[in-house]
Structure 1
Amino acid sequence: MTDFHADTLLAADFGTATTRVSLFDVVEGTFRYVASGEAPSTIEPPYLEASEGMRHALADLQAITGRAMLDEASRLIMPATADGSGADVFVVTASGGPAVRAVLVGLLPDGSLDSARRLAASSYISVLDTLSLGDRRREEQRVDALLAAQPNLILIAGGTDGGARDAVLMLAETVSLACRLLAHDTKPNVVYVGNTALQEQIVALLADGAIISTAPNVLPELGAESPAPARAELARVFQELRLSQIGGLRDLAGYAGGRLLPTAQAEGNIVRYVSRALGTKNGILSVNVGSASTLVAAAFGGELYLNVRPDLGVGVNAAAVLSETSFDNLARWIPQEIAEDALRDFVFNKSVRPHTIPADATDLQLEHALAREVLRAALRTARSGWPRSAPGVRADLLPWCDLIVGGGAVLGQAPRPGASALLLLDALQPTGVATLLLDAHHILAALGAAAHVNPLAVVQAFDSGFLTLGMAITAVGATRPDAVVCQAKLVYENGTDLTVDVKAGSLEVLPLPLGQDGKLTLKPRSGIDVGFGPGRSKTFEVTGGAVGVIIDARGRPIAFPKAADKRFEMMQEWSLKIGATV
């Protein structure tokens, strides 16, 4: 009989539309991802109760693995038993639930208030109002605005360490007055991340009317943000809010030592870890498009840049994309004529019925077009906070990213790996050389939450839960249509080779099966950059994937033919080449 003691890890993630559970175990001496189960979430109104959705997700997992997770009283079996039932360790993440309503306070709009805005953007927070020294409203109007917002959270920044004092205290007094006027049962959480010399005074000022906590200054010096400690405190406050808002969640978190991590923070932890482990100057990028929210986590030089759009998704918040982009931008991804009213109806229907799945190829095209524009809108927001020093071809294009991970049901449930790869390439339009991974089972968040419990499990399990789609190489540079921009030669392990002339506007795939290695030589023409500088050739090792080695010469940004029939024809050709056609 196999001994399962102290080896089994169960991770649960509560999203707006879906609750997922993932099982990890020791296989041949190494932690590996085993399986996942999922079910519709019950954490949103009218239920606001987490355990029912989790029970159904665990039942799905049990059906897949044959291993019992719940006892006869529907309680989680912990620790794991000798027959493989239950789990030794349980971790929890959440992205769904009622919106966290927030008011941000800072000295100057382009200073500490901007830092507070970026900090709030790292979690599932809806900013309702801001206060600053530039606010021209009268004192009573500012207080009325705070009362009208009924915030769950007030985030106060301002003053570098050893800097401004009186102005910070003046703003805090306005917050204190508003908090004392709020009903006792609606005490807001106040997180102070300003001048550390004022922490004691701020706590004393706000203690009567708010639940006050502090963190090190998010802007200790001008131009030198330090968001990590403040982000951790924000995650703790998010945890307390979620545990109080959603029934059953506190009991479930009890199995995890009372710890619940925002999904975004969990994924960000792994993105930062990979960046530091690889020691690369290029980016590590993860995107996760959900029903209600979209997450973009990027790391450059080991520093994490985390951005959440809690108002933008492909389900509950699908309609928000209509204010972010135009009909033409949505329609350009659909290889057939579609009326504007029909496209709008589809988007609104997704908002009303987020659990619906595509009924035919046209529905799938519409859903993937929606996902492309949602991701592009979220990426635009995220990139505004990225470092300008991030290496790349041009400042207006995505910086070089060595690894790109795509997650969310719309990507994970695509009918073919090529469809997931094409969606990522179209939405993100990467440059240089990047490995594309698909997080079909929401493993990134699970590993991020498990890192504090068992770091070794995270390191060992990282390779087992993702699907490698392939390596994507992008050719960037001006040239005439249909001109050869690059010659690519792939030498296989058995000594055979394949040479392809890549033309401008094309998408080429060199077959290289998952797990196999090869040697790729790229010879771009003068002025064309494939990630090593304009016109520079290179030979390097490549590893295969579910799609193969992808060479994207469609331009950056992607150049579409003006004539609709030519566009449809070209899109169908791209889809066929990459294996996305159903």
Structure 2
Amino acid sequence: MVKTPEEIKSILAVDCGSTTTKAILIELDGRNYRLKVRGEAPTTVEKPFEDVTKGVRNAVREVEELAGKTIMDEVGIITPAQGDKGVDLFLATSSAGGGLQMMVAGVVKKMSAESAQRAALGAGAIVMDTIAVDDGRLLYQKIERIRQLRPDMVLVAGGIDGGTKSHVVEIAEILSAADPKPRLGSGYNLPIIYCGNKEARKEVGGLLEGKVDLRYVDNIRPVLEKEVLGPAREEIHNLFMEHVMAQAPGYKTLKSWTDAPIMPTPGAVGKIIQTVAEENDINVIGVDIGGATTDVFSMFENTFNRTVSANLGMSYSVCNVLVETGIDNIMRWIPFDMDPNEIKNRIRNKMIRPTTIPHTLEDLIVEQAIAREALSLAFAHHKTLAVGLRGVQRQRNISDAFDQSSGEDTIIDMMDLDMIIGSGGALSHAPRRLQSGIMMIDAFQPEGITRLAVDSIFMMPQLGVLSSVHPKAATEVFEKDCLIHLGTCITPTGNIKKGAAALKVKYLKDGKEHEETIYGGEIRVIPCEDSMEMDIIPASGLDIGNGKGKHTKKEVSGGVCGIFLDCRGRPLSISTDPKERAKQLLTWFSQTNMYPIVSVGLEEGRGK
């Protein structure tokens, strides 16, 4: 019998990743929940083991040794705790076996299909492809593509309730003709969730029932002006547990051990990002840069969005970063002469040997250059989906007549962003925290006043699933043990002239008054671990969030890096001339002390 949140004293949570299974033990320490120990072991979902619980046992065994207590017996995890044995709560997340892979289909690519995509991504899925009536492909090409994909499930949307039925029925006809098969297992039908026009259910059922496992949920676009993603996301999660997890080796046993449903890893990370944004009433962007994918999460004005760039990563997918961004964009972050072919070969070697790490400063600078481009591309992709509802009529005023942008702008406003949270090897395990902070600043280019943080040891998935059961414990551990606050980035926007005074800051530190002026083209760091009152004065014509030329006085949060004063301009401009670029980058490195030996290691050598 599961204890109530008030009775829970100890929590074990595991994340079964594609390569590593990570376990954390959380215990009540006085009035607060804190991380006690952490263990990890290789995931065992593939041959020769083919039993995910073996990897879980190995990771938990390490936790037992470090904590000096018994958590398992021959049956499984001991819950609830019996004296000094076992834990009160056991939870799990998983992306082993490739995670949740979905295909979505809708009538109009920029309307119902886009809503279906948001529903799937928010539930923690990788969207393999989006089929739409107006996607430009011929009928046979769509059928061929559906047959090739072999997704875990399909989400079908289209039409408002009571509207035209013919187009969404056309989607059902395409699926019926393709007769798609599931990725895992052959003894069950492919799950298809229908969340389109209610009036078309009979026709859709006539085409698909018997061939697939068809489920009906409420329309995600019941009217043009409204998007209802909750029921579809809940059904995706239920089917993930019922079908996908059931087919993976050892998951039935793992499911019998857990006290709550197993959650897809990306969905769990999104859950903790949502929880933090809601608890603190702030706008947040979170990013998880992995070996194969880069996930971006955002919570803006109570609207949650998630995107997964399934082809952008730092090991398995590193060559895709090169293809998408081009060698020139990677080289713009490298302050020394290097043959482009040598960089390409290094990238290919990383793909072939994904577990290797940089051994020299030169290797590190190249790898962090690639990370900046992967993050930047993933964020650009995220902004294209984090938009207002398409197809909705909106009132416009006279100022909109002079707005040259498209009418479908992203809802993400960098000036309104309060916090960026970074995760994944390139950010969580950078040799110096300062490098993580500057990589995020360079990739996301925040504006105004924005806090920066990283996940210390990548425990966000476990805390995400915990937040659905025990929000207090999840939030306390997230803020005290998971997040490392790097500091705050202060960035004025507007026409910043190189060499001209752009920003002045006044503050009290160690009992003394300080005043600093930052010039256009510079980035500075003020060491400061605690918060301090700052008077921030932008130059005339520049904006820090209050309007052009208007100063602001506020409490600014410090961190392990301090307070970044970035006056390099937005968008960031880097010279295309190799010698000028090297000088520009080395100046920034020197101003921030990003690479302490950069002046010796590079200026005397290849940086000349």
- Alignment TM-score > 0.5, same fold: yes
Residue 574 of structure 1 corresponds to which residue in structure 2? Answer: 588
> Over residues 422-461 of structure 1, what are the superposed CA-to-partner deviations in whole Å (9 max), with x where a residue is unaligned?
1111111111111111112223322221122212212333
Amino acid of the residue matched to residue 468 of structure 2? H
Give the secondary-structure state (helix, strand or coil) at the position aligned to 1:92: strand
Q: Equivalent residue for 1:106?
A: 106
Letter in 1 for 2:235: E
Matching of residue 537 in structure 1 with residue 548 in structure 2: no
* Distance in 1 of aligned mates of 2:594 and 2:55: 32
2:150 touches 2:181 (CA, 8 Å); kept in 1? no
Task: Tell me which amino acid in the other structure corresponds to 2:570.
Answer: R
Counterpart selection for 1:185 from 176, 184, 187: 187
Any residues of structure 2 matched to 1:542-557 within 5 Å, and which? 542-557=556-571
Counterparts of 2:189 and 2:547, CA distance in 1: 56
Matched residue of 1:185: which SS?
coil
Question: Paired residue for 1:35?
Answer: 37
The 1:556–1:65 alpha-carbon spacing in structure 2 relative to 1, beyond 3 Å, is: farther
Match in the other structure for 2:17: 15
Amino acid paired to 2:250:
G
Aligned positions of 1:177-576 closer than 5 A = 177-179=177-179, 185=187, 187-199=189-201, 202-203=204-205, 205-257=207-259, 259-280=261-282, 283-387=283-387, 398-464=414-480, 465-492=482-509, 494-513=510-529, 516-576=530-590
Unaligned runs of 5+ in 1: none
Q: Deviations over 1:282-310 (max 9, x none)?
A: x3111110111111110111110111122
Cα distance in structure 1, aligned partners of 2:364 and 2:145: 43
Amino acid corresponding to residue 531 of structure 1 in structure 2: G
Whole-Å Cα distance in 1 between the matches of residues 99 and 463 of structure 2? 25
Contact 2:91 / 2:260 at 8 angstroms: preserved in 1? no
Q: Aligned pairs, how many?
A: 567
Instruction: State whether residues 432 and 474 of structure 1, in contact with CA within 8 Å, keep that contact through their aligned partners in structure 2.
Output: yes
- The 8 Å contact of residues 399 and 431 in structure 1, kept in 2 or not, is answered as yes
Alpha-carbon distance, 1:181 to partner: 9.0
Q: Distance in 1 between matches of 2:564 and 2:166?
A: 58
Question: 1: distance between equivalents of 2:217 and 2:127?
Answer: 21
Match of 2:402 in 1: none
Letter in 2 for 1:463: E
Contact 1:14–1:43 (CA under 8 A) maintained in structure 2: no
What is aligned with 1:127?
128
Partners in 1 of 2:227 and 2:279 — Cα distance?
23
- On the 8 A contact 1:285/1:404 being kept in 2, the answer is yes
What is the distance in 2 between the residues matched to 1:504 and 1:142? 52
Contact 2:155 2:194 in 1 (8 A): yes
Q: Which amino acid aligns with 2:364?
A: L
Q: Deviations over 1:361-381 (max 9, x none)?
A: 222222212211111111111
Amino acid at match of 2:499: D
Is the alpha carbon distance of 1:57 and 1:158 closer, same or farther for their aligned partners in structure 2, counting shifts above 3 Å?
A: same
Q: Distance in 1 between matches of 2:373 and 2:180?
A: 43
Identity %: 29
Is the Cα–Cα contact under 8 Å of residues 5 and 81 in structure 1 kept in the other structure? no
Separation in 1, partners of 2:566, 2:440: 12
Q: 1:284 is matched by which residue type in structure 2?
A: V
User: Contact conserved, 2:146 with 2:180, CA < 8 A, in 1?
Assistant: no
3-state SS, counterpart of residue 259 of structure 1: coil
SS at match of 1:164: coil
Number of the residue aligned with 1:87: 87
Contact 1:102/1:155 (CA < 8 Å) preserved in 2?
A: yes
Deviation at 1:5, TM superposition (A): 7.2
Q: Which runs of 5+ in 2 are unaligned?
A: 1-5, 390-404, 597-608
SS in 2 for 1:374: helix
Distance 1:412 1:301 in 2: 27
Task: For residue 119 of structure 2, give the secondary structure of its aligned residue in structure 1.
Answer: helix
Please give the residue correspondences for 1:156-175 in structure 2 after superposition, counting only pairs within 5 Å.
Answer: 156-175=156-175
Amino acid at match of 2:551: S
**Separation (CA, whole Å) in 1 of partners of 2:566 and 2:339:** 30
Deviation at 1:184, TM superposition (A): 5.9
CA distance in 2 between counterparts of 1:561 and 1:143 reads: 47
Describe the superposition over 1:142-162 as per-residue Cα deviations: whole angstroms up to 9, x where unpaired: 545433443432221111122
Is residue 21–residue 58 contact of structure 1 (8 Å, CA) maintained in 2?
Answer: yes
CA contact (8 A) 1:121 1:306 kept: yes
Q: Any conservation in 1 of the 2:113–2:130 contact (CA below 8 Å)?
A: no
Is 494-503 or 323-332 further displaced after alignment? 494-503
CA offset digits 1:355-398 (Å, max 9, x no partner): 22222222222221221111111111110122469xxxx97974
* Map of 2:392 onto structure 1: none
Q: Deviation per CA, 1:53-94: give whole Å up to 9, x if none.
A: 3344334434544444444x38333333544x5422122222
Query: RMSD between aligned alpha carbons?
Result: 2.9
Looking at structure 2, the residues matched to 264 and 100 of structure 1 have their Cα atoms a distance apart, in angstroms, of: 9
Q: 1:74 to 1:511 in 2, by over 3 A?
A: farther
